């Protein structure tokens, strides 16, 4: 018979944050609506993010671009992207005579972020209570909320990981 582990014992967690400002990542990396998909993919990969807010010229969020949006674009084009780690030399060494498949550069370079972003904005004010932030994320079934000032300017993003970072036993 196995001994109960600490994972089997319920643990009460407390959220160590009072407001959205406490939870958010300030000055988030954002994308311009008129950026190309190629630029957006590069930015997401370089920063290690799965999504980023899309802003207009005034710095107001107008949508979000996620990896899911990019994958849907790829599916709509009817393409099958080859993983990045397959280099041309690997394909040649395995007898593959065809060229590497993936996002066609011509199409990707002409498609703009605004064309495929999700135009939904789920936002809270910086002084929103942290418990309310969590309730909203659960109710909306989203992985992130934007934090915006009264004038609509984006000042931060709260992801589900940001909430988890503030939980303590």
Question: 3-state SS string over 30-69?
Answer: CEECCCEHHHHHHHHHHHCCCEEEEECCCCCEEEEEEHHH
pTM of the model: 0.74
Partners of 118 in beta bridges: 64
Distance of CA 41 to the CA centre of its chain: 11
Number of domains in the chain: 1
* CATH at residue 75: 3.10.580.10
pLDDT score, position 96 = 47
Structural domain of residue 85, as residue ranges? 14-168
Model confidence pLDDT, tens digit, residues 48-62: 999 999 999 888 999
In a domain, 114, yes or no: yes
pLDDT over threshold 70, residue 169: yes
pLDDT in tens, 139-157: 999 999 999 999 999 999 9
């Amino acid at each position: 018979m196995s001994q109960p582990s600490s994972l089997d014992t319920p643990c009460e967690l407390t959220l160590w944050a009072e407001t959205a400002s406490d939870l958010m990542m300030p000055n988030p990396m954002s994308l311009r609506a008129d950026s190309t998909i190629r630029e957006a993919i590069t930015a997401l990969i370089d920063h290690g993010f799965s999504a980023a807010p899309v802003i207009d010229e005034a710095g107001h969020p107008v949508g979000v671009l996620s990896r899911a949006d990019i994958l849907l674009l790829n599916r709509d084009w009817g393409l099958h992207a080859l993983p990045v780690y397959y280099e041309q030399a690997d394909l040649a060494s395995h007898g593959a005579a065809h060229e590497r498949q993936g996002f066609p550069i011509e199409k990707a370079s002409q498609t703009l972020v605004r064309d495929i972003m999700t135009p939904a904005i789920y936002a809270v004010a910086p002084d929103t209570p942290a418990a309310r932030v969590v309730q909203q994320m659960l109710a909306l079934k989203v992985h992130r909320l934007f934090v915006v000032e009264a004038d609509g300017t984006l000042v931060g993003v709260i992801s589900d990981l940001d909430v988890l970072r503030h939980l303590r036993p």
